[in-house]
């Protein structure tokens, strides 16, 4: 009976130690915080629930998400440091799930570095690894989304449907409303792209049906800021869809959804990327209606909001391009030329910065890899030296034991010989 209880206890402990991501609410909350740009809250949770945990497997997960956090705030050095720490712990535990989490972290990192070969190889292996464990749909959703995102950005990769639907399938299995919400949003985007490619109205109808699911699951998200970000995305999607739905004769449809998104975004100080995108959408709507004055006003608002933000240079380029097109459409050629020059300068600077950052990141990555290899070589050498030392000590102990045994054996024989000699002498003297 005691043995049976002990086995049950060990089984429960193993489930606690290697908790599946579908049931890991702390891990899911970290993901939500990163999604909604709540970096301080994410770091606090990572430290309190993972990095300070006794169990090394929790530490591995913590360092992988800490690497994601540093990726969000563009701290490459800290990101690599967190990943390599996770890797070292996982190599010590040598548990397949710990190693899979490390690969999960490196998959994201390779995607960021645009190391396509490493990314695809590690991604496919990580999908295979997590698929071998039960209840890992939360992680598998993210992996299939990464593959979908990768294909969507590659002009030669047009088979995004499979990964979009696989991500959604695993999101539904995970029962995480945020993942379900954004995977339905991705499917809606897929349908809109198919409509633009084919002109077939059925794709717009499918996108509209999907958007209802997006809204339904957005409302189920508990954390307010996470829910609000999802609602902003929903309203932006509805804004772009409205021209093709039953509301297409309603000239205020785009403005209605855009203003709903803006009202939510205005609640937060770190949602400027969303606010600028909303302003841009409103400007585009006014431009399509021929209201160039209002179009310029909102395009300018969009640009002004991100002009000083070095993290949103791509937005600046897009908005300057829109201002240039608008000026050209109005016949203001000099103004259009000025905007185009600014746009070109930003593109050149952005490309150079991207190149420099990528080069620096790659250098850091390879330096870290070389350092890791050196550490592994030294650890292996140290291990062999320890084994050699243990062997020497063992041999010395055995040798000493043999000498002691020989000494006692010889001493015993010597005593026997002495006793025999005494007996022989006594016999000769006829005393025995």
* Cβ partners under 8 Å of residue 45, min gap 6: 26, 29, 30, 33
Give percent above pLDDT 90 in the chain.
Answer: 48
* 287 in any annotated domain: yes
Q: Are residues 349 and 405 in the same domain?
A: no
Confidence of residue 381 (pLDDT cuts 50, 70, 90): low
- Looking at residue 243, what is its pLDDT? 66
One domain for residues 316 and 356: yes
**Non-local CB neighbours of 414 within 8 Å, separated by 6+ positions:** none
The pLDDT tens digits for 1-34 are 444 444 444 444 444 445 689 999 999 999 999 9
76 φ, ψ to 5°?
A: -65, -40
Does residue 356 share a domain with residue 322? yes
Considering the chain, what is the average pLDDT of its residues?
82
Clarify whether residues 331 and 412 are in a common domain.
Answer: no
Range(s) of the domain holding residue 410 = 384-432
**205 domain residue, yes or no:** no
End position of a domain, from candidates 339, 368, 397:
368
Question: 345 lies in a domain?
Answer: yes
Q: Which residues contact 181 (CB under 8 A, 6 or more apart)?
A: 214, 217, 218, 221, 230
- Is the domain of 360 the same as that of 278? yes
How many folded domains does the chain comprise?
2
Same domain, 360 and 413: no
Task: Name which of 64, 58, 61 is nearest 83 in CA terms.
Answer: 64
CATH assignment of the domain containing 310: 1.25.40.10
Show the tokens assigned to 4. 């049976």
399 with 430, same domain? yes
Q: Is residue 46 part of a domain?
A: no
Domain match, 290 and 340 both: yes
Q: Of 180, 151, 170, whose CA–CA distance to 32 is shortest?
A: 180
The model carries a pTM of 0.77
Whether residue 300 lies inside any domain: the answer is: yes
Residue 103 resides in a domain:
no
> Are 412 and 326 in a shared domain?
no
Domain boundary among 318, 336, 368: 368
pLDDT tens for 332-372 read: 888 888 888 888 888 887 777 666 555 655 555 555 555 45
Tell me: pLDDT of 150 over 70.
yes
Domain membership of residue 24 (yes or no) is no
When pLDDT is cut at 50, 70 and 90, the band that residue 422 belongs to is low
pLDDT in tens, 208-219: 899 999 999 999
pLDDT tens-digit profile of 62-94? 999 999 999 998 898 899 999 999 999 999 999
Q: Please tell me whether residues 329 and 412 are part of one structural domain.
A: no
Do 362 and 398 belong to one domain?
Answer: no
- Which residue among 338, 368, 398 closes a domain? 368
Is 62 a domain residue? no
- Taking the C-alpha atoms of residue 24 and residue 176, their distance in angstroms, rounded to an integer, is 11
Q: Whose structure tokens read 């020989």? A: 406
399 and 352 part of one domain: no
Please list, residue by residue across 59-80, b when 16 or more beta carbons sit within 10 angstroms of its beta carbon and e when fewer do: bbbbbbbbbbbbbeeeebeebb
CA 316, CA 302: separation in Å to the nearest integer?
8
């Amino acid at each position: 009976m005691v043995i049976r209880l002990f086995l049950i206890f060990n089984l429960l402990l193993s489930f606690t130690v290697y908790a599946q991501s579908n049931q890991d609410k702390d891990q899911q909350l970290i993901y939500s915080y990163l999604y909604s740009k709540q970096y301080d809250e994410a770091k606090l949770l990572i430290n309190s629930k993972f990095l300070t945990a006794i169990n090394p497997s929790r530490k591995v997960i913590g360092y992988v998400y800490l690497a994601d956090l540093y990726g969000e705030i563009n701290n490459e050095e800290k990101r690599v440091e967190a990943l390599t720490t996770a890797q070292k712990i996982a190599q010590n535990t040598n548990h397949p799930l710990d190693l899979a989490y490390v690969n999960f972290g490196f998959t994201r990192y390779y995607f960021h570095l645009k190391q396509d070969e490493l990314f695809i190889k590690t991604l496919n292996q990580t999908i295979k690894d997590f698929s071998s464990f039960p209840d890992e749909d939360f992680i598998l959703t993210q992996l299939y989304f990464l593959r979908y995102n990768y294909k969507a950005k590659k002009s030669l990769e047009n088979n995004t449907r499979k990964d979009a639907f696989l991500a959604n399938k695993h999101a539904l299995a995970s029962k995480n409303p945020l993942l379900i919400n954004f995977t339905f949003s991705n499917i809606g985007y897929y349908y809109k792209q198919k409509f633009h490619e084919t002109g077939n109205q059925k794709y717009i109808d499918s996108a509209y049906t999907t958007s209802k699911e997006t809204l339904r699951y957005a409302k189920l998200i508990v954390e307010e800021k996470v829910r609000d970000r999802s609602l902003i995305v929903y309203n932006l999607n509805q804004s772009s869809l409205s021209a093709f739905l039953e509301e297409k004769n309603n000239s205020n449809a785009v403005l209605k959804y855009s203003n709903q998104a803006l009202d939510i975004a205005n609640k937060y100080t770190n949602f400027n990327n969303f606010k600028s995108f909303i302003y841009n959408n409103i400007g585009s709507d006014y431009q399509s209606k021929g209201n160039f004055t209002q179009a310029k006003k909102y395009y300018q608002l969009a640009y002004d909001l991100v002009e000083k933000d070095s993290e949103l240079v791509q937005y600046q380029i897009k908005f300057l391009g829109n201002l240039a097109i608008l000026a050209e459409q109005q016949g203001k050629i000099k103004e259009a030329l000025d905007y185009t020059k600014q746009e070109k300068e930003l593109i050149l600077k952005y490309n150079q910065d991207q190149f420099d950052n990528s080069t620096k990141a790659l250098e850091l990555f390879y330096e870290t890899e070389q350092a890791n290899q050196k550490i592994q070589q030294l650890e292996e050498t140290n291990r062999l030296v320890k084994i050699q030392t243990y062997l020497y000590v063992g041999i010395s102990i055995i040798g000493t034991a043999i000498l002691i045994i020989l000494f006692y054996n010889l001493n015993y024989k010597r005593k026997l010989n002495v006793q025999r000699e005494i007996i022989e002498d006594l016999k000769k003297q006829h005393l025995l």
